[in-house]
Each structure stands twice: as C-alpha cells, then as structure tokens.
Amino acid sequence: MFEAIRTFVENHITGGSDGIRDLVILFFIAICALGMYYVTRALLRLIERIVLRTPTSWDDDLFNSRFLGAVSQLSPALVVKWMLPGFFGGDYGWLGAATSIYIVGAVVWILIVFIQNVYNGISHRPSLRAYAVKGVFQMVQLVLICVAVVYSVSIMVGKSPVAILTALGASAAVLMLVFKDTILGLVASVQLTANKMIQRGDWIVCEKHDADGEVVDISLTTVKVRNWDNSITTIPPYVLISESFRNYEPMRFSGGRRVCRSILIDANSVGFCSSAQLEGLREQGWLHGIGIEEAARVVNLQLLRLYLEYWLMHDSRVNSDMVVMARQMPPTPQGLPLQLYFFCREVRWKQFEAVQSDIFDHIYAVIGLFGLRIFQSPAGADFAKTTDHDSNR
C-alpha cells in the first residue's frame, strides 16, 4: 500500500523535486493522523456513554472524559509512527525521533491521569478517604515522569536508556541531595499510613510548628493542618515521624473528653462543720449518697469533695465508666486547689464547652453552701471598700 501511494505521488508530481514529493506524503500522513484522531474521539465518546450507564461508580471515576481525552491524543502519533517507515524506510530522521518522544509522553500522561483518577476515586469514598495514600500516588507519578525523561533523552542522543541511567548513577549523590525531601516524604508517608498515626480529618497538635487543628491534606512533601483560627500550617511528613505530636482523634471515639480543672479555695474558709451546718445540708439534700451521718469533726472541704464526686458520677453528661475524681492539690500562694478530673460524654468542641461550663456553674454556686470561699486576688473595688471603711471609722 505504501509503495503504491508513493508511486502515485511520483507519477502525478513530475515537475517537482523529491522534497516536494516528500512534503505531499507528509501532508497525506498528517491527514490520516487527524482522521484517526476524530475516529478515536467518536469511539471514546461512545465508550464514555456506556460507562456512565453502568450501575457501578468506579468506572465513572477511572474512565472519565479526562482519561479518554488523554487516550485520544495517542492515536495520531501511532498512525504517524506506523506510516513513516512505510513511506521513507528507515530514513525519517528527526521526525521519527520527535514522534517517538511524543508517544512516550502521551503514554506517560495516560498513566498519570489514570493514577490520579484512582486517587480521586479513593478520596471520594468515605470508607477509604482516611488513608493517607496521596504521597504514594505522587511518588509513582514522579517515577513515571523520570522514566519518560530518561527514555526521551535516550531517543534524542541515540543511546540506550541503560547507558543514560549509568551516566546518572555517577551523579547519584547530587540526585539524592536534590530529591532528599521527596524521598524522606515518601518514606514518612508510608510509615504514617501503615502505622495509622495520622489521617485526614484528624485533630493534631504539633506545638513546635504552631499547628493545632484538623489535617486537611497529606501529600508527598507536606502535611496541611487547618488551625482553629482558619490559618493553614504546613509540616513536612518526616517531621511527624522524627518528632512528637499529639493526635486527638482517638478521643473522639473513646466516648469521653477529659476535663481537668482546679478551683482555688480560700484556705481560711476550711474548717469543721457544726451540727447545725450538717443538718441544714442534709435537709437540702446536699449530703444524699455521700455517707456522712455523724457530725463528729467533719471538714467542710471533705464534704464538698465527696459531694462533687457523687454528683459527677450520677450526672448523665459525665462518663462514669472513666475516672471521676475530686482531689486536693498542693497548696499555693493563690489558694488551695481543688481539682476536678472527669470525662464528658460529649466530645464535639462547642457542645463539650457548653457541658463543661454548665457543670462548673453549678460547682461555683454550691461551694458557698458548704461554708467555703473561692480565692480571688483583691481588685480595685476591694481596695476601695477598705478605704471607705477606714474613712468611716
């Protein structure tokens, strides 16, 4: 077929040189390549309609219009690569090299788009979204690009790809230095994923890098954290492997979020309860369930601790299956700390803060009923009252 077409061109273009005949043949090859492109596009559009009608969604993600468009870019180059030797034998010079390089680039582009579609399919599915595989996919794409570059260089210089790789091996130290962060990021991403140390959506705190928020992206070279003030902090993945960070995600599924706060009690208000005080507390129900029956030398702070533990244990907002404790801490110049240590059932931030505030509102209000005072440093109004009292005297 090729010989017949070439003979036809030579017979009908008799007044021109061989260069003009070659241009006519190249124009014919270009027309064939363009026609194959449109034929391929039509077939791929038919395939796309079939894919969209299937009940599964994975094929919609994998064989989308972007992937099919990348495939259609390959067919013209294949036609050119097939027809050039038929018309020109083995002597088609730079045009054949350019066609081969284009084919390599088109194939790599198809693979890159397919890999990206696989990642998009994973990220769109809640059951798979948590896995930090973006770095692995990026590394595969980077390897494909490097292979394409090496093969293209080998085509241009007329050498074997093995020879090119051998030459690059001599500069391996330089390449290791250039791609140090990429290599470290790949290793760290694999470790983070395999050990389930971090996933997208996790709440992490990395104080050294001022990160306190939700992980929104894990790539080959960076971990993006959206802080609670809506700023973005980027951290290299290998930092999370080599340094410590705090992940609050297990707390969300544990059924309890910790509260650990202290109330400063005025040490001068601590003392023994009288029989009248105990009777009044008992009549109001504040001693119910805490096992205080006798009035013999009972300290009001002890009563408060027992009451708070009993009240927290029976509060539906507190997870009583976890530690519930009211304990006295070492005294300070600012007062005697009474620490409340318990876990709220509500772990969502806003709801957790509301429950915690309601609980401590009640604690602040009930302290006075036990004859205790909360320590508070004197303010300007306190000094003003003292001054007025002295002037009245």
Distance CA 275, CA 197 (A): 57
Structure confidence at residue 32 (pLDDT): 77
Contact of 241 with 255, CB cutoff 8 Å? no
Q: What is the pLDDT of residues 39-81, one digit of tens each?
A: 888 888 887 777 777 777 777 777 777 788 888 878 888 777 7
Domain range list for the chain = 2-129, 156-254, 255-370
Structure confidence at residue 54 (pLDDT): 77
Beta bridge partners of 257: 344
b/e map of 316-337 (b: 16 or more CB within 10 Å)?
A: ebbbeebebebeeeeeeeebbb
pTM, full prediction: 0.54
- The count of other CB atoms within 10 Å of the CB of residue 343 is 21
Q: Cα-atom radius of gyration of the chain, to the nearest Å?
A: 38
Q: Looking at domain 156-254, does it have CATH number 2.30.30.60? A: yes
Q: What values do phi and psi take at 161, rounded to 5?
A: -55, -30
Q: Looking at domain 255-370, does it have CATH number 3.30.70? A: yes
Contact of 375 with 265, CB cutoff 8 Å? yes
Distance CA 177, CA 324 (A): 54
Question: What's the Cα-to-Cα distance from 118 to each of 77, 124, 128, 152, 388, rounded to whole Å?
Answer: 26, 10, 12, 26, 78
Q: What is the pLDDT along the chain (393 residues), one digit of tens a residue?
A: 555 555 555 555 655 555 565 666 667 777 877 888 788 888 888 877 777 777 777 777 777 777 888 888 788 887 777 776 656 665 566 777 787 888 888 888 888 888 888 887 777 776 665 566 666 777 787 788 888 888 788 877 777 777 766 766 656 666 666 667 777 777 777 777 667 788 888 888 988 888 999 988 887 778 899 998 889 998 888 888 888 888 888 887 788 899 999 999 999 999 888 888 888 888 888 787 776 655 557 888 988 999 999 999 999 999 999 999 999 999 998 889 999 999 999 988 889 999 999 999 999 999 998 889 998 877 656 556 565 555 555
